[in-house]
């Protein structure tokens, strides 16, 4: 009923956006896993997005926001309500002085490379992080000693009334893989970064080294959602999983990567249930062997 209401709304407004019914979400996730969404909405511009958000909240329609579809595991039963996908039309970047303003849909890797090519330092750590800029801020993504909390200058969101809101760093409640947006559920629209200038050749070299390091150690050739578990205090999840003898362990089409035990990969036909069962199995074995409780970093979303 709620999805039908939304479809009627988009038709009445003559939206130029893409509105797709019963689309399999595995096409929009890096895991290549996920059942159907009632409606996928790909907004064409900011006005359409604001009107849609306002309508969705006024009518209490369930809504889920997608960027590049990384760091998530979508239910085999799919997602009810509306899924808004931000990557297609919200990937613009503007650079004015030392302020880089990026729309939420651009990939972290693309933005990081663009920043380096313009001679700015501070985002090299992010090259190779899967996902969109909006998702990276939502999760306070990090790698190689850096995280987004260190470089974000301002975030612009769309709230439940369709209004634009601004957040400064002190309002973002950044923590380990956490931001305020995990509680307030506002849609991240744009992120501003304030970066120092650097030597372009040195920055390129750092990026190349980190790219090679990531490629040699992570299973980038197979579908995954990135690192599955948060880092436990004083240890590494991948190390514990490997020491537990779980590299290569399979349940259905899901497998603990033989390249990096901190990743679960889709061998080609994995279901969300396969992945969830494997996650739970890993957590049980690691707890039995090391008395360490692993906490999932990958978010499970959709109908249980």
Mean pLDDT to the nearest integer, 78-89 = 93
- Condensed to tens digits (0 to 9), the pLDDT of residues 43-67 reads 999 999 999 999 999 999 999 999 9
Classify domain 219-301 by CATH number: 3.90.78.10
Mean pLDDT to the nearest integer, 92-113 = 95
Mean pLDDT to the nearest integer, 126-133 = 91
Domain with CATH 3.30.43.10 in the chain: 2-85
Provide φ and ψ at 130, rounded to 5°: -70, 145
CA 137 to centroid of chain Cα atoms = 9
- Condensed to tens digits (0 to 9), the pLDDT of residues 201-229 reads 999 999 999 999 988 989 989 999 999 99
Give the model's pLDDT for residue 75. Answer: 98
**Summary mean pLDDT of the chain:** 95
179 is catalytic: no
Q: Given a cut of 70, is residue 152 above it in pLDDT?
A: yes
List C-alpha distances in Å: 44 to 14, 15, 47, 51, 87. 12, 8, 8, 12, 11
- Condensed to tens digits (0 to 9), the pLDDT of residues 6-31 reads 999 999 988 877 899 989 999 999 99
Q: List the catalytic residue out of 107, 177, 179, 186.
A: 177
List the structure tokens of 119.
């001679």
Domain with CATH 3.30.465.10 in the chain: 93-202
What does 172-201 look like in DSSP terms, one character per residue? S--BTTB-THHHH-PEEEEEEEE-EE--HH
Nearest to 302 by CA among 130, 62, 28: 62
What are the residues whose beta carbons fall under 8 Å from the beta carbon of 39, sequence distance 6 or more? 3, 6, 7, 19, 20, 21, 81, 82, 83
Mean pLDDT to the nearest integer, 188-192 = 98
Residue 230's pLDDT band (cuts 50, 70, 90): very high
Mean pLDDT to the nearest integer, 272-282 = 98
Q: Are 103 and 187 in contact (CB under 8 A)?
A: no
Q: Are 73 and 298 in contact (CB under 8 A)?
A: yes
Which architecture characterizes domain 93-202 according to CATH?
A: 2-Layer Sandwich (3.30)
Radius of gyration of the chain (CA): 20
Residue 1's pLDDT band (cuts 50, 70, 90): low
293 is catalytic: no
Q: List the catalytic residue out of 132, 227, 257, 296.
A: 227
Q: Which CATH number fits domain 2-85: 3.30.70.100, 3.30.70.1230, 3.30.43.10, 3.30.300.30?
A: 3.30.43.10
297 is catalytic: yes
Q: Given a cut of 80, is residue 2 above it in pLDDT?
A: no
Q: Given a cut of 90, is residue 267 above it in pLDDT?
A: yes
Give the model's pLDDT for residue 43. Answer: 94
Percent of the chain with pLDDT over 70: 100
Residues in the chain: 304
CA 218 to centroid of chain Cα atoms = 17
């Amino acid at each position: 009923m709620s999805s039908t209401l939304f479809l009627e709304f988009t038709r009445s407004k003559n939206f130029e956006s893409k509105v797709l019914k019963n689309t399999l979400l595995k096409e929009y996730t890096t895991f290549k896993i996920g059942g159907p969404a009632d409606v996928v909405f790909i907004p064409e511009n900011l006005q359409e997005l604001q009107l849609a958000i306002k309508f969705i909240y006024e009518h209490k329609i369930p809504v889920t926001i997608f960027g590049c579809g990384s760091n998530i595991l979508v239910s085999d039963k799919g997602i009810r309500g509306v899924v808004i996908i931000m990557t297609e039309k919200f990937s613009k970047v503007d650079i004015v002085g030392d302020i880089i303003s990026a729309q939420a849909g651009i990939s972290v890797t693309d933005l990081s490379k663009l920043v380096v090519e313009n001679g700015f330092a501070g985002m090299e750590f992010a090259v190779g992080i899967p996902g969109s800029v909006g998702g990276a801020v939502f999760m306070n993504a990090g790698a190689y000693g850096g995280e987004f909390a260190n470089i974000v200058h301002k975030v612009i969101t769309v709230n439940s009334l369709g209004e634009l809101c601004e957040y400064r760093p002190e309002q973002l409640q950044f923590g380990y893989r956490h931001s305020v947006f995990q509680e307030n559920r506002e849609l991240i629209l744009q992120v501003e970064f304030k970066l120092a200038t650097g030597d372009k050749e040195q920055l390129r070299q750092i990026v190349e080294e980190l790219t090679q390091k990531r490629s040699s150690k992570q299973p980038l050739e197979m579908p995954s959602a990135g690192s599955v578990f948060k880092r436990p205090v004083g240890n590494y999840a991948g190390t514990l999983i490997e020491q537990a003898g779980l590299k290569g362990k399979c349940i259905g089409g899901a497998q603990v990567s033989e390249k990096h035990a901190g990743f679960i990969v889709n061998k080609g036909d994995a279901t969300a249930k396969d992945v969830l069962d494997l996650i739970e199995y890993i957590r049980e074995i690691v707890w039995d062997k090391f008395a360490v409780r692993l906490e999932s970093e990958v978010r499970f979303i959709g109908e249980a």
